[in-house]
Structure 1
Amino acid sequence: MKKVLAAMLALFFMLAPVSGYAAATFALEMNASKLQRGEQLMLSGMAEGDVNVKIVGPDKTTFYLDVIESAGGSFKKTITIPKEADFAPYGVYHLAASNGAATLSRTFAVTDENGNYPPEQSEGGGNGIGIAPPSNAIPADAGTATGSDIQPDKAPNGTYIVGGDTFTSAAGQAGGAVTIKLPDSSGTSGNALEFPAQALETLKSKNKDLVIASDNGTVRIPAEAIAAGNAGQETNIRIVLNTALTDDAKNAIAGSIGSNADYHGIGAVITVTIQLVSGGTATEIHDLGKPVTVRLKLTNEQAKLIAANLAGVYYVNGSQLEYVGGKAENGTFTFPANHFSTYAILEYGKSFVDMKGHWAEQAVKSLAAKHIVTGVDEQHYVPGRGITRAEFATMLMRSVAWNGKADVPAGANPFNDVPAGQYYAGAVTQAASLGIVTGYQGAFRPNDGITREEAVVALVRAAKYFDLSAPGKGAPAFADAKSISAWAAAAVNEAWTTGLIEGDGKQFNPKKSVTRAEVAVMIGRLLPAGSL
């Protein structure tokens, strides 16, 4: 009988379609359906290829996110349930695991030692017997204010807390911001900071920012950046800063980089989580009403791994990278953030086969790392090709945006030949709003090649958005100076004296087209020396 059954099963798998076989080889097992804080959840099973796992907690926030590698057709992962209530609330957790097109779902519960958990956090919410949700009230005098600085108290569950009265006291003595100073090592421990949401209204009414500082970084948050809604008396803001290179952060970076070998991490990350906590519910706030400023301090080891002009800050979400920029000074990266999750400092060492040994190689490599210039394809930059007026305006405005010095005013497109929807339309409109480019009787002529004198005029106009120091060079003595248009002559002289253009000073060739190599060097001279 067993031989007959085995033969039938073998025949079934031989005749089954490939997709059905792939689904059958994906299996998932858990070691328990109920766990206590501090215990381990063990996942195992069969899969061909990586398994993506996401666990959502009872508060509807992401509890765990990972990509588990399979070996020999099987996989295994151990997840430790945190001991802290903030990170592992009681209740039902929903797990989804995907492998290719197949997805499996499981649930488990985090309970107390008796196998129970608060019913108000269970699936469906509440048990109908009148148990009140947990109190989120923070003592009004929690924390100590010294001037505008606040030292938070530490609650029994490990959360740092600050009360409303303490906020009010600090805000009354603050200049531009109230600063909460977290203890050393808190940035790598992942401890939460919690304070009443109404404290943001106090700061907003006094036009003050909130600065959260740890030993390895700070986050400066305008009060209006976090939408707390009509926050009640016991609604809190919970913020978690973590600069540790956790498994989640590693997986997010690896998933975002994929197979692109041009990117290289140095282990410097910051993960920021902001939640609005009311009763037993925590709602994550991802998008911010106003950009915040983040400063991430590098360790000595991380600083040694940085390659000048190639590093930048990237938002990573596990599937793609979003270049943020960032400025480095004295071992600290400063960058703006419009939304929160995980940010990493990565090097982008893009190389083009036609730039090896070229006189503009370093300039192109540096600007490519800042995503100011790109190749014509993945392998080629084509340094000797001419550049159009649209391409030049786009590169120039990327450099202005990278420098973060210009608040570009909203304005209507002044040109009749720059249609909406073109890749360069926004950059050209912004450049015109800032007075960097002008047209010809209402036309911009985007597809025309840009001449050296046209490029230099725009370059000099853009230079006011950069911190340039004149090298003290005298006026140029170009033999073809009379060929320079009258409207460009002053700009050419200024570009020479400030070092934006160089050479032997004998010929300027004002009507000659600018090449892609030349424009990279020109724009590169706008940027601070040794900038990252």
Structure 2
Amino acid sequence: MKKYIAAIMALLFVLSPVSARAAASFTLALSVDEVQRGEEIQLSGTVTNNAKDVVVKIIRPNQTTFYINAITPVQGSYTAKVTIPDDKDFAPFGLYQVVAGSDNLTETKNFKVIDPNGGGTDPTDPTDPGNPTDPTNPGNPSNPGDTQPDDSGSGSTPTDPNTIPTNAGKTADGIVQPEKSTDGRYLLGSETMNQAIQQAKDSVTVQLPAATGDAGTALELPAKSLQDLKDKNLDLILTYENSTVRFPASAISASGEQQSRIRIDLNTALTSDAKSLLNQSLQSNPDYKSTGVILSVEIKLITGDNAVEIHHLDKPAVVTMALTEEQEKAIRSDLAGVYHVNGTNVEYVGGTVSKGTFTFTAEHFSYYTILEYNKTFADLAGHWAAKSVQSLAAKQIVEGVDEQHYEPNRSITRAEFVTLLMRTLKWSGHTTPQAGSNPFSDVAANAYYTEQVTGAASLGIVSGYNGAFRPNDIITREEAVVALVQTAKYFNVVGANKAEPAFADTNDISSWAAAAVNQAWSKGLIEGDGARFNPKSSVTRAEVAVMITRLLPNGSL
């Protein structure tokens, strides 16, 4: 799947609003030239028989992305139907551009979303320059030509779409409020950004209107400002309502040319197109359930009429999105996680939830969503560990031996156990320090568990036996508890404050494990069978799932 994503990303870099001539083997056709809101338009075309997927984008009149999809050709042709939403914010009147590409070939077509009452403009949209009710419109009798910028940010700044006024926006103490132009973009000028950079301590925060995410609004700022932020080691934070996207300094690679600008589009609305993309990604796996929470982020570097999309970030961005009260109540936090959606499949990203917000890191941008993964196994029906396994499967920490079976009673090796602990640490967001040389003589350089075992050793979770790790030995309960207690140091485990355990076989516990067994009992990480600890017995896959679940905080994605 990673190869597929890489191919799509590479293709998207060449899909710009600029028309490109394609060979006769690749074509694009539209069913109509004009369409009204609520109606449907069909895209179709031909490809060579061995062509890869066709990436189709539709760009709104204000240059934001209206639709994106990856279509698999069938017998040399491809097709897709797109419904134009009734909402004027998502489907403004005007000229739309369709760009389709495959195997470095592209074709471009245009269509219009028209007003059935005529005129081609939206009489209810005060930001439409053709609207006579717009007080900033030069043709409005009540305003004889006043087109000066309005500091209120009400959308009165008439600008050349290829430039940004140097004084666009306002700043105070490193917090910037952009200025809205007549075509609906939010602009930040170079002088305004320079002031903000001089005022800032560790970041520049851009405050966007609360409805920014719902409306899919575009923010534009000079590309050179990103270089200035990098030079000062300042992060760029975008905020709207209770949500934020934080780009570390130098996260976005961009030219420092004076005439280049960066456009960032944010959209949190579950539009019909987003639903279509999501449904297409989930159709092959019924274990996933959509929660309706989605985020689309699109970044472009624009120079003149040329636009290049930036998908991969040099440093991961941190995204925090607020959930509505209804969303928070509806989402099962033990089964939920953040996923990247690519139109064919979904890729687990992770994430944590706290006080009605979810947070995750993104190394690249397109569509992200919260899904519930409700994986069940036939051999766990009614099992005492079923809930723990289900929760850990949703976090991609444990997996079945096949699609239908988990084998809860099978013993687990030392390498397998440490791999699960390290997956849990990775899920929690903990970064493993750079490991030194492999400390174990019996851990091969190319084994599946090598990175996890050496990482665990560098964190003090495991130490081995006289230079050996014994990766394929079945792990004993006392060995597992020692590693579990060391791992618990990296989690906020609230102790149960129980008295020392009264196991009948306490004398059978090795001296090097006794303190860890007492700590694990006190913290509520183990319980034993009620009378004995059985320190030399093996640990089953069911028991491991329950142990690891007790490490994790309640209400975590």
Instruction: Please state which band the TM-score falls in when normalised by the shorter chain.
Output: 0.7 to 0.9
TM-score under structure 2 length normalisation: 0.76
- Tell me the C-alpha RMSD between the 2 structures: 3.7
Q: Secondary structure at the match of 1:385?
A: coil
* Paired position in structure 2 for 1:432: 457
> Is 2:81 aligned against 1:77?
yes
State the alpha-carbon separation in 2 of the partners of residues 112 and 43 from structure 1.
Answer: 14
Instruction: Write out per-residue CA displacement over residues 135-179 of structure 1, whole angstroms, 9 at most, x where no aligned residue.
Output: 733222211112221111001211101112222222333333211
Gaps of 5+ in 1: 1-26, 99-103, 114-133
Match of 2:310 in 1: 285
CA separation in 2, counterparts of 1:464 and 1:302? Answer: 32
Match of 2:298 among 260, 269, 273: 273
CA distance in 2, matches of 1:286, 1:176: 25
Match of 1:213 among 224, 234, 239: 239
Question: Does the alignment pair 1:108 with 2:109?
Answer: yes
Distance 1:177 1:87, change over 3 A: farther
Distance of 2:509 and 2:372 partners within structure 1? 41
Cα displacement (A) at 1:110: 6.1
Q: Secondary structure at the match of 2:379?
A: coil
Does 501-510 or 146-155 show the bigger shift?
Answer: 501-510
- Residue type of the alignment partner of 2:515: A
d(CA) in 1 for partners of 2:348, 2:59: 33
Q: Which amino acid aligns with 1:363?
A: S
Is the 2:408–2:541 Cα contact (8 Å) retained in structure 1? yes
Aligned pair 1:312/2:337, yes or no? Answer: yes
What secondary structure is seen at the aligned counterpart in 1 of 2:378? Answer: coil
Please show how residues 94-493 of structure 1 align to structure 2 within 5 Å.
Answer: 94-95=99-100, 107-109=108-110, 136-215=162-241, 217-229=243-255, 231-493=256-518
Aligned residue type for 1:147? D
What amino acid maps onto 1:150 in structure 2?
A: V
Q: CA separation in 1, counterparts of 2:310 and 2:189? A: 21
- C-alpha distance 39-412 of structure 1, shift in aligned 2 (>3 A): same
Counterpart contact for 2:92–2:113, Cα < 8 Å: no
- Matched residue SS, 1:223: coil
- How far residue 306 of structure 1 moved from its aligned partner, in angstroms, is 0.7
Counterpart amino acid of 1:528?
A: P
Report if the CA contact (8 A) 2:67-2:273 is conserved.
Answer: yes
Identity %: 51
Q: Does the C-alpha gap of structure 1 residues 299 and 400 become closer, same or farther in structure 2, counting only changes over 3 Å?
A: same
Provide the C-alpha distance between the structure 2 equivalents of 1:53 and 1:244, rounded to a whole number of angstroms. Answer: 25
1:55 aligns with 2:56: yes
1:223-245 alpha-carbon deviations (Å, 9 max, x no partner): 2111114x211111111110011
The whole-number CA distance in structure 2 between the counterparts of 1:91 and 1:56 is 10
1:10-46 CA-partner distances (Å, limit 9, x unpaired): xxxxxxxxxxxxxxxxx986345x6699998832789
SS in 2 for 1:181: strand
What's the CA shift string for 1:74-104, capped at 9, x where partnerless?
98735659999x9999897543699xxxxx9
Given that residues 316 and 363 in structure 2 are in contact (C-alpha distance below 8 angstroms), is that contact kept between their aligned partners in structure 1? yes
Structure 2 Cα separation of the partners of residues 45 and 281 of structure 1: 25
Gaps of 5+ in 2: 1-26, 47-52, 73-77, 115-159
CA positional deviation for 1:448:
1.0
Look up the SS of the partner of 2:280 in the other structure.
Answer: helix
Post-superposition shift, 1:439? 2.1
Secondary structure of the residue aligned to 1:465 is coil
Tell me the secondary structure at the aligned position of residue 250 of structure 2. Answer: helix
Moved more, 153-162 or 407-416: 407-416
TM-score (structure 1 length as normaliser): 0.80
* 1: CA distance, partners of 2:88 / 2:318: 31
Tell me the equivalent position of 1:9. none
1:35 touches 1:41 (CA, 8 Å); kept in 2? no
Deviations 1:87-135 (A, max 9, x none): 999897543699xxxxx9864246999xxxxxxxxxxxxxxxxxxxx87
Q: Cα gap change, 1:45/1:172 in structure 2, threshold over 3 Å: closer, same or farther?
A: closer
> 1:336 Cα deviation (Å)?
0.7
- The residue number in structure 1 matching 2:537 is 512
**Which residue is equivalent to 1:121?**
none
Please say if residues 28 and 109 of structure 2, whose CA atoms lie closer than 8 Å, have aligned partners that are also in contact.
Answer: no
8 Å CA contact 1:192–1:241 kept in 2: the answer is: yes
Q: 1:12 is matched with which residue?
A: none
CA distance in 1, matches of 2:257, 2:365: 24
- Deviation of residue 355 (structure 1)? 1.2
Q: CA deviation at 1:287?
A: 0.8
